[in-house]
Structure 1
Amino acid sequence: MPSRLLPLLITLLALLPATALAAKPVPALVEGKDYVVIPEGKPFAPLDGKVEVVEVFGYTCIHCAHLEPSISQWKKKQPGYVRFTPVPAAFGGYWVAYARAFYAAQLLGVQDSTHAAVFDALHKTGSLPIQNASPDEITAFYASQGVDAGRFSAALRGADVDQRVQKAREWVQMAGVEGTPSIIVNGKYRVIGGRNHDDMLRITDQLVARERRARK
């Protein structure tokens, strides 16, 4: 190679990383494609000035299990004005059994520490049955995670869990959720688009930013 071309080649190579790493423009959201507006929608819980992001999920839903690692990482990156709230779908049958388990764990303050383990037990190890899990089987699993069996069993069967499951059921119906996982921003927008998990969360981030701007 002629020596006079070498400086030009070095210059071009130095520019390549900057070009390759240049941020792509974020696509504008399209109603009806990326999200739908929920008629008369409302947040699941009081906002306290924050933007609420709800994931409607089911422990028995394999797609929710696949989304969980991405959701877990996404939560860690959120600013203080975003509040993430998982809401279990209680469509009926075995969905209700595990929605009750979620709220029993929440009442005892162990929901965060056991959440991923329940997904693993259902979809990886098979130590929990997807269908027809008895209260005693569910209690035994939580006991294996270090949760007091007596306290968990009492919570699982208690009136507080009844009320929380009923609230979740009514809100999920109001939001028009028919499948899981579903992401809802501030009770107003339900994400329907996204080619993959990252794309779904990209749409979520844009809706969060929209709500943040509206509050300002």
Structure 2
Amino acid sequence: MFKRPTFIRAAAMLFGFVAALSVAHAQTPAAGNFVEGKQYFLIEPAQPGTVDGKIEVVEIFSYGCPACNAFQATMKKIHDTLPANAVLTYLPASFNTAENWPLFQRAYFTAQALGISDKVHDATFDAIWKDDGSLRITDPVTHQLVKRMPTIEDVAKFYARFGAKPEDVVATSSSFAVNAKMKRADSLLRAYGVDSTPTIVVGGKYRFTGRSVGSLEQVVPLVQYLIAKEAGAKPAN
């Protein structure tokens, strides 16, 4: 979970994030015994929380966030276990400028506008944090931030692997539509009360993090609990 100005602090926080989840596992409530104000938090005022009539489950993330990269296996479980009345969406954060989050936010909305976001989502994490390295923000040896951060032109070259024309990527990235989505995303993050990543928001009303829920194993049960709560059904205990 990250609210971080420097990568050195980020590395320490990632270790703390994993360690805190491990320690908290023994104190985690049984599935379904979730308490508002402890495992999850109410968003006031509530924000719009449906997409095409389905309850929206939002991951607030950044490609530049190592905790978000580590969280992707859990996100896949959320996706694979969503009930028919829910839909998963993503909201990129930009509040860590030191680690190029505004660029990655722009890249996400550009991919969305070009219709390739599903194709590039996992691959973008890999390009930053794994063997690909074409969008790397840290040196693999020193683990310090690189002196030259990725640019939108680098993103365009990367997206070309998935069928996008580089010139279209660059042009779309500075379009009115993408700029408007970035402004809306920043505004929505403030309305959600989010200052760290990854954070999950359900139905525009409920917010939680891996740290607040206590263990990664409880993330999916809590998502399902909150979907049922929002749908008006009695959540399973």
Q: CA deviation at 1:196?
A: 2.9
Residues 73-127 of structure 1: per-residue CA shift (max 9 Å, x gap):
3212222210111000121521110000000000111000110000001111222
2: distance between equivalents of 1:98 and 1:149?
16
Q: CA deviation at 1:43?
A: 2.5
Counterparts of residues 43-54 of structure 1 (less than 5 Å): 43=48, 46-54=50-58
Alignment-derived partner of residue 127 in structure 1: 134
Tell whether 2:235 aligns with 1:201.
Answer: no
TM value normalised by structure 1: 0.82
Kindly indicate whether the alpha-carbon contact (under 8 Å) linking 2:56 and 2:89 is maintained by their aligned counterparts in 1. yes
Kindly indicate whether the alpha-carbon contact (under 8 Å) linking 1:184 and 1:191 is maintained by their aligned counterparts in 2. yes
Number of residue pairs aligned between Structure 1 and Structure 2? 191
Q: CA deviation at 1:134?
A: 1.2
SS in 2 for 1:79: coil
| Aligned partner (choices 137, 150, 162) of residue 154 of structure 2 | 137
Tell whether 2:164 aligns with 1:147.
Answer: yes
Q: CA deviation at 1:178?
A: 0.6
Kindly indicate whether the alpha-carbon contact (under 8 Å) linking 2:82 and 2:224 is maintained by their aligned counterparts in 1. no
Kindly indicate whether the alpha-carbon contact (under 8 Å) linking 2:32 and 2:221 is maintained by their aligned counterparts in 1. no
2: distance between equivalents of 1:25 and 1:91?
34
| Aligned partner (choices 87, 105, 111) of residue 117 of structure 2 | 111
SS in 1 for 2:38: coil
| Cα separation, partners in 2 of 1:27 and 1:83, compared to 1, 3 Å | closer
The unaligned stretches of length 5 or more in structure 1 are 1-23
Tell whether 2:94 aligns with 1:90.
Answer: yes
1: distance between equivalents of 2:215 and 2:129?
20
| Aligned partner (choices 54, 57, 60) of residue 56 of structure 1 | 60
2: distance between equivalents of 1:73 and 1:148?
32
Kindly indicate whether the alpha-carbon contact (under 8 Å) linking 1:191 and 1:203 is maintained by their aligned counterparts in 2. no
Give the percent of matched residue pairs that are identical in Structure 1 and Structure 2. Answer: 32
State the one-letter code of the partner of 1:105: A
Q: CA deviation at 1:25?
A: 5.9
2: distance between equivalents of 1:49 and 1:96?
30
TM value normalised by structure 2: 0.75
- Range with greater deviation from structure 2 (115-124 or 91-100): 91-100
Tell whether 2:41 aligns with 1:36.
Answer: yes
Residues 154-180 of structure 1: per-residue CA shift (max 9 Å, x gap):
111211110001100100011110100
Alignment-derived partner of residue 163 in structure 1: 180
Kindly indicate whether the alpha-carbon contact (under 8 Å) linking 1:191 and 1:204 is maintained by their aligned counterparts in 2. no
Kindly indicate whether the alpha-carbon contact (under 8 Å) linking 2:39 and 2:214 is maintained by their aligned counterparts in 1. no
Q: CA deviation at 1:27?
A: 3.8
Tell whether 2:205 aligns with 1:188.
Answer: yes
SS in 1 for 2:58: strand
Q: Which has the larger radius of gyration?
A: 1
Alignment-derived partner of residue 232 in structure 2: 213
